[in-house]
Structure 1
Amino acid sequence: MATFLLFFPLLAGFSALEAQPARHHPSCRIVGTSMVCRDLSLTSAPVDLPSGVQALDLSHNQLQNLSRNTLADHTNLSRLDLHSNKIHFIQPGLFEAMNDLKVLDLSGNRLDVFAQAKIQIGTLSAVESLDLSGNGLYTGMSDFFLSDSPSLEELSLSSNSITKIAQNTFRGALSLRRISLHNNVILEIEDGAFDSLVGLSELDLSMNSIACITDFNLSRLRVLNLSRNSLELFQSPSSDEPYRLTFLDLSENKLLYFPLLPVNNVILHLDLSRNRLQSVDASDSAETKMPMTALKHLRHLDLSYNQLTGLPQSFFRTMSALEVLNVSNNCVTSFSVTEKDLLLTAKIVNLSYNSLQRLSLREGTLLALEELFLQGNALSTLAHQTFQRLPRLNFLRLEENNLRVCASETKPDENPPGCVLFSSVPKLKILYLSENNLKSLPCRAFADTPLSLLDLSVNPGIEMHQDSLAGLEHSLVQLLLRENNISRLNADMSSLRSLKLVDLSTNQLTSLPTWNRESSIETLNLQNNSLVTLESAAMAPLKHSLKTLYVGDNPLSCCENLDLVHLLQHSAVVVPDIEAATCILREGFEPVNIETVTREMCRGRKKANYIVVIVLIVFLAAIALGMLVKYCKSSKRKPIRRFSA
């Protein structure tokens, strides 16, 4: 009786709707074989669909009750999108006659009202993809939509309020291959809940409240996402049964120890970032350490944002295929690769933002390494040839350390202890050395290294040798020297013919470096310096190539930079900080925007200056003449003294 009372208003609404004729809405548009009627405040589907239409998009409308009349009896559709309406009732058996319907989107509606009436939606005979996300469904409600779905392969129940996955939840949809339960409040998964789904390959349980997995036995699963739960433990049974799992995401949980993975696995991608890992030992207690599972197929391992203090070399011995290793944002103090044949396939290693004081890389290891991230550590001492031993290294980040650069043309024993050679690194193209407290840059510091980007920023007071950039004439494209507190750039940049971007911002420069006519600089940043004039001799060689110029926050003189004013006003050069590009027209006056300056202003200033000078000369001459006249008069009045014998 209670069920009938709940069902009665829904049935009444449905009957009233049956009496209303469906209306064709001319605002719908045809896109290929689809009719799109999105966001038109419709309460029913258009009546006459053109021939050939296979998909109907009724999302973001005002549909409330789904019936044959509401859908204008369109039974030949293959795709039906009803996302974001107000649907709270579906006529039982409505989709039975839709033998071609493959994709049905019912997300973002109010189907919890329908489920409360405990009515079965009926057979979904041909539907392969069903989206029920964002409908306020809680535990058990999905059963009324899945009880007879023999062809269903893809199901989304995300963003609902489900707390438990029961054994019979998917018993009517045994063909399921992909299930999304993202963003629910799942606390419990009953044993055997997924066992009947022999074809299940992808399962998304992310953003739930699952606390532990003690017997992971879904051996046919290929993709498992358990990120953003409350996992403290993940264990698989100790058996030799082969598992097909290739992608496992356990990020953003509360794991203290490395998960106990299937022994016979083919895992390619393992994400353990943002947990509480203090060790890479697989164990549920500090006293009982479990043996490390072989991960011989693993290619991508993410351990970032944990509490690891060390990475023993033994940890990597079974990872013979590892290509990407991310251990950033931990507490690792030492990293060594000295064992032969270790990490031979690694292409990217990220050790940034740890507490690294020691880095030891044996010659013959990391032969495939292309990218190395070491920024944000405490490195001050490295073996001279650390990076010369990496034959394929092309990207290196070393900012926020405390390193020194060795001279390239001296004997090893003549270099200061702990300095690093950056010359003759055969493939290195990108090098970041900012914030290293570098005091000097020796001659030919990067010779025979094909750098295209060099960042030496935020090394206050760095002294660059005149030939410190020698050897980069044909490779260097970007040079970053911002925030170095330098008043003059000593390094010779005139021969850097490939240079396209130069950042000299936030220094104390009073003059510009010299370039020649072969320079190809396109972007020049001179912001926040002490430049009064931009010399014509320095800027003229750039006229043919310069496209972008930053000059704001400099004490520029308007009338001593008329060539610059003309360049900015009459050329294609873009000045992104034009609002801050000001100059001083007269001493003691407020700066004006450089775009407003004209030559007439400066001519007027010169004429005014001439008048001031003439007036001043006349005034001084008058004063001098007056003083002379006064002196002469005083001389005539003096009595002549006479002397007698």
Structure 2
Amino acid sequence: MMGPRLWILMLVVQQVSPYRRPAEASPCRVLQEDVDCSRLNLRRIPPQLPATIHRLDLSQNLLQNLTGRELPPSSSVRHLDLHGNKIQFIQPGLFQDMSRLEELDLSGNSLYIYAALNTHIGPLTSVRRLDLSGNGLFTDMSDYFLRDAPALAHLSLNGNSITKIGRGTFNGSQALTNIDLHNNVIIEIEEGAFESLTGLSELDLSMNSISCITDFNLNRLKTLNLSKNSLTNFQADESDQEFELQHLDLRENKLLYFPVLPQRSKLIYLDLSRNLLRSVNCSGPLEELENLKDGGYLLTDPDKPLSLCANKRHQDLPSLLYLDLSYNQLKAIPSAFFRSMTALESLNISNNCLESFGVDGLNSLKTLDISSNNLQNFSFGLDALAALKVLHLEGNALQTLDGFSRLPSIQSLHLQQNQLSVCPPLEGPSGGCVQLSSIPTLRFVYLSENGLFSIPAGSFQGSPLLILDLSQNPGMDVGSSSLSGLETSLCHLSLKGNQMQSLDLDFSLFRKLKSLDLSVNRLTGVSLWSGESSLESLNLQNNSLVTLASGTVIALQKTLRTLYLGSNPLSCCRNPHLLSLLQQNRLSVPDLAGATCWYTRDSESVEIGVSAVRAEHCQSADGKVLWISVIVVLALGLALVLAVTLKLSHSKRHRFKRGIKA
């Protein structure tokens, strides 16, 4: 029987130090005040979390329900990431006590199930950034999350199933500055849906089904993305108020005419690519517009007529820096269209139907792309394009070009896929050619697929080119002086696909040449270096090469880093220097598996990979002849040495005997 003192002592011990089951270690990773519980297949939130947490990451788990028991309120949490779970229920008011919560990511869950309960999530008092993307939300379902979010600035609803933006959708989130509605099914936007958001600066409505924007009046908006919709018309409010809009993306729609932009605009970026533009006017003839309205195109507000914008044929865009009109159906653009675009730096009109293009002014333009049209004439005024650096004219029908020497800043000319020929130096283009000499700023010239027959001597004299592409001109003749003047500048040269059988050039003279492409020709041998080389990459694929001259290989072995050799009938036994070069570890041969050579065995030609060549392969047939020749030469040499030695020995003995007699 236990004594009273012992019983009292045990009772005191129990009260002072009660027995507790050891707590399980949390599977989460803790770094100072950041807790990472992501990708742990959690079905419940671990209870053993630090008392103070600034960032809590519970993403990519299996959580389904969020309640007060699952997510204990913590006033210290500022960033809560719950994306990529299976959350379908959130206890109303759960986030109310998180007074410091600024970022809440609920993307990639199943919140459409919660929204179907018609239950308000409760106040998001301090949340500034909310991500509800990829939750299967339908129209009006977002209202249950936005009704009481007074501090919300950034909202993402992309990847849901919203079809309509109502007038009161954002009434509880008046501080919004950025809204992402990308990749929904929006057909209708009620008038005034965004007008109360006086701080809204970025709006993404791309990848929806919006067919028409009329009376656009969000004058404080800076960025608007309407790409990948079904727009047939974009028309801004015709008031005199100043718009802050700077970026407008209308690509991949069904616009037939240039949009009606705000009269007072700060626009710097306008993308109209991949539409159905037929004219740069903002409207066409009246009958075309009537046909457009009768043709089944849906207007957001069918009661509002399309504006003929008779006084807006050419709109003022003095701040515009970037304009993309590519992939449309433009047949002509009057030069007056660009008159107000005094700041324009990049203009893309590629992939249209232009036959002629002329430029006056545009002295801030740095990049001009008119590629893939049907241009037969390209011209520019005496004082035009003063800042132009890059000109794309590839894929047209040009036979002659004039005036590149008048472009004081030109650096890159893309002239491939035309019908041009190159003028001799100091000869004008009157003979139907392009003058490319004496342009001191020129660095890059691309002339592939022009049907060139020859490159006259000194064609690029006075133009310090770094890159020259003369590929895909079958039958083109490149003489020993064709590239004269480029010895101290040229770094990359392509002569690919020209069906050349020989090449009379000494590349030792080109002291900065780093890359040379001679692939897809008919070269039977390569002996192009008489001295040292700076070459790092050489492409010899698809030729008729049997040997590489030993002098060439020796010149290349110090600097060459990459060599392409495949699809050549190389000799295994007549390229000892080449095979030795291929065995160097520092050399990369990307097509080594397809690089083969031939040797003779039992009077038959045998093909093997160059990496598999051994000494014994060259001891038969032609290899055997070579070895026999070597042995015969050595034998003859030994016989000669022996004969001379015997003669000298006999002569010495004879003199010695005569000396004794005396």
- Give TM-score scaled by structure 1 length: 0.88
Q: In structure 2, what is the equivalent of residue 283 of structure 1?
A: 283
| Partner secondary structure for residue 214 of structure 1 | strand
Q: In structure 2, what is the equivalent of residue 64 of structure 1?
A: 64
Q: In structure 2, what is the equivalent of residue 199 of structure 1?
A: 199
Code of the residue aligned with 2:469 in structure 1: it is D
**Displacement, 1:57?**
1.1
Distance 1:152 1:471 in 2: 64
| Partner secondary structure for residue 591 of structure 1 | strand
Q: Please show how residues 65-464 of structure 1 align to structure 2 within 5 Å.
A: 65-283=65-283, 285=285, 288=308, 289=310, 290-337=312-359, 339=360, 342-383=361-402, 386-408=403-425, 410-412=426-428, 417-464=431-478
| Partner secondary structure for residue 216 of structure 2 | coil
1:240-260 per-position Cα deviation (integer Å, ceiling 9, x unaligned): 100000000011000000000
Distance 1:344 1:542 in 2: 46
Structure 1 spans left out of the alignment, 5+ residues? 1-20, 614-645
Q: In structure 1, what is the equivalent of residue 4 of structure 2?
A: none
Structure 2 spans left out of the alignment, 5+ residues? 1-20, 288-307, 630-662
CA, structure 1 residues 60+25, in 2 after alignment: closer, same or farther (shift >3 Å)?
Answer: farther
Q: In structure 2, what is the equivalent of residue 517 of structure 1?
A: 531
Code of the residue aligned with 1:329 in structure 2: it is N
**Displacement, 1:394?**
0.8
CA, structure 1 residues 146+411, in 2 after alignment: closer, same or farther (shift >3 Å)?
Answer: closer
Q: Verify the 8 A CA contact 2:57 2:81 in the aligned structure 1.
A: yes
Q: RMSD of the TM alignment (CA)? A: 1.9
**Displacement, 1:607?**
7.2
Distance 1:215 1:284 in 2: 19
| Partner secondary structure for residue 606 of structure 2 | coil
Q: In structure 1, what is the equivalent of residue 619 of structure 2?
A: 603
Q: Verify the 8 A CA contact 2:525 2:548 in the aligned structure 1.
A: yes
Distance 2:263 2:386 in 1: 29
**Displacement, 1:608?**
4.7
Code of the residue aligned with 1:175 in structure 2: it is A
1:567-595 per-position Cα deviation (integer Å, ceiling 9, x unaligned): 11135211110011100011633310011
Q: In structure 2, what is the equivalent of residue 43 of structure 1?
A: 43
Q: Verify the 8 A CA contact 1:24 1:46 in the aligned structure 2.
A: no
Distance 1:445 1:211 in 2: 54
Code of the residue aligned with 1:441 in structure 2: it is I
Distance 1:32 1:285 in 2: 68
**Displacement, 1:396?**
1.3
1:567 aligned to which of 564, 581, 591 = 581
Q: Is the counterpart of residue 590 in structure 1 residue 612 in structure 2?
A: no
CA, structure 1 residues 356+278, in 2 after alignment: closer, same or farther (shift >3 Å)?
Answer: same
Code of the residue aligned with 1:247 in structure 2: it is H
Of 415-424 and 130-139, the range deviating more from structure 2: 415-424
Code of the residue aligned with 1:403 in structure 2: it is L
CA, structure 1 residues 24+173, in 2 after alignment: closer, same or farther (shift >3 Å)?
Answer: farther
Distance 1:421 1:510 in 2: 33
**Displacement, 1:603?**
3.1
- Percent same amino acid at aligned positions? 50
Q: Please show how residues 612-627 of structure 1 align to structure 2 within 5 Å.
A: none
**Displacement, 1:359?**
0.5
CA, structure 1 residues 571+155, in 2 after alignment: closer, same or farther (shift >3 Å)?
Answer: closer
Code of the residue aligned with 1:393 in structure 2: it is I
Code of the residue aligned with 2:432 in structure 1: it is G
Distance 1:282 1:111 in 2: 43
Q: In structure 2, what is the equivalent of residue 618 of structure 1?
A: none
Q: Verify the 8 A CA contact 2:530 2:551 in the aligned structure 1.
A: no
Of 567-576 and 551-560, the range deviating more from structure 2: 567-576
Of 473-482 and 63-72, the range deviating more from structure 2: 63-72
Q: In structure 2, what is the equivalent of residue 629 of structure 1?
A: none
Code of the residue aligned with 1:579 in structure 2: it is A
Q: Verify the 8 A CA contact 1:25 1:46 in the aligned structure 2.
A: no
1:117-154 per-position Cα deviation (integer Å, ceiling 9, x unaligned): 11100000010000001111111111100010010000
Q: Verify the 8 A CA contact 2:128 2:154 in the aligned structure 1.
A: yes
Q: Verify the 8 A CA contact 1:451 1:476 in the aligned structure 2.
A: yes
Q: Verify the 8 A CA contact 1:407 1:444 in the aligned structure 2.
A: yes
Q: Verify the 8 A CA contact 2:467 2:492 in the aligned structure 1.
A: yes
Distance 1:610 1:535 in 2: 18
Q: Is the counterpart of residue 544 in structure 1 residue 567 in structure 2?
A: no
CA, structure 1 residues 310+47, in 2 after alignment: closer, same or farther (shift >3 Å)?
Answer: same
**Displacement, 1:53?**
3.6
1:470-500 per-position Cα deviation (integer Å, ceiling 9, x unaligned): 1111110000010000100124433111001
**Displacement, 1:67?**
1.3
Code of the residue aligned with 1:359 in structure 2: it is F
Q: Verify the 8 A CA contact 2:224 2:249 in the aligned structure 1.
A: yes
Distance 2:335 2:286 in 1: 20
**Displacement, 1:52?**
5.8
Q: Verify the 8 A CA contact 2:215 2:238 in the aligned structure 1.
A: no
1:489-514 per-position Cα deviation (integer Å, ceiling 9, x unaligned): 12443311100100000100012142
CA, structure 1 residues 69+443, in 2 after alignment: closer, same or farther (shift >3 Å)?
Answer: same
1:179-220 per-position Cα deviation (integer Å, ceiling 9, x unaligned): 011111111111111111110000000011111011100001
Distance 2:584 2:510 in 1: 28
Of 475-484 and 358-367, the range deviating more from structure 2: 358-367
Q: Is the counterpart of residue 553 in structure 1 residue 567 in structure 2?
A: yes
1:528-575 per-position Cα deviation (integer Å, ceiling 9, x unaligned): 100001110222111111111111110000000111111111352111
CA, structure 1 residues 234+32, in 2 after alignment: closer, same or farther (shift >3 Å)?
Answer: farther
CA, structure 1 residues 379+607, in 2 after alignment: closer, same or farther (shift >3 Å)?
Answer: closer
Distance 2:80 2:285 in 1: 52
Of 560-569 and 301-310, the range deviating more from structure 2: 560-569
Distance 1:202 1:140 in 2: 21
Q: Is the counterpart of residue 578 in structure 1 residue 592 in structure 2?
A: yes
Of 87-96 and 361-370, the range deviating more from structure 2: 361-370
CA, structure 1 residues 350+33, in 2 after alignment: closer, same or farther (shift >3 Å)?
Answer: farther
CA, structure 1 residues 235+32, in 2 after alignment: closer, same or farther (shift >3 Å)?
Answer: farther
Q: In structure 2, what is the equivalent of residue 622 of structure 1?
A: none
Q: Verify the 8 A CA contact 2:211 2:230 in the aligned structure 1.
A: yes
Code of the residue aligned with 1:256 in structure 2: it is L
CA, structure 1 residues 204+285, in 2 after alignment: closer, same or farther (shift >3 Å)?
Answer: farther
**Displacement, 1:389?**
1.1
**Displacement, 1:275?**
0.3
Q: Verify the 8 A CA contact 2:73 2:98 in the aligned structure 1.
A: no
Q: In structure 1, what is the equivalent of residue 293 of structure 2?
A: none
Aligned residues: 584
| Partner secondary structure for residue 589 of structure 1 | strand
1:382-438 per-position Cα deviation (integer Å, ceiling 9, x unaligned): 22xx21111111111110001010011x543xx661211111111111111000000
| Partner secondary structure for residue 548 of structure 2 | coil
Q: Is the counterpart of residue 505 in structure 1 residue 522 in structure 2?
A: no
Distance 1:298 1:160 in 2: 34
CA, structure 1 residues 284+128, in 2 after alignment: closer, same or farther (shift >3 Å)?
Answer: farther
Code of the residue aligned with 1:347 in structure 2: it is K
Code of the residue aligned with 1:319 in structure 2: it is M
**Displacement, 1:24?**
6.6
Q: Verify the 8 A CA contact 2:182 2:207 in the aligned structure 1.
A: yes
- Give TM-score scaled by structure 2 length: 0.85
Of 533-542 and 174-183, the range deviating more from structure 2: 533-542
1:52-86 per-position Cα deviation (integer Å, ceiling 9, x unaligned): 64111111111001112212433421101111111
CA, structure 1 residues 442+194, in 2 after alignment: closer, same or farther (shift >3 Å)?
Answer: same
Distance 1:381 1:610 in 2: 56
CA, structure 1 residues 589+33, in 2 after alignment: closer, same or farther (shift >3 Å)?
Answer: farther
Distance 1:239 1:333 in 2: 37
**Displacement, 1:33?**
4.3
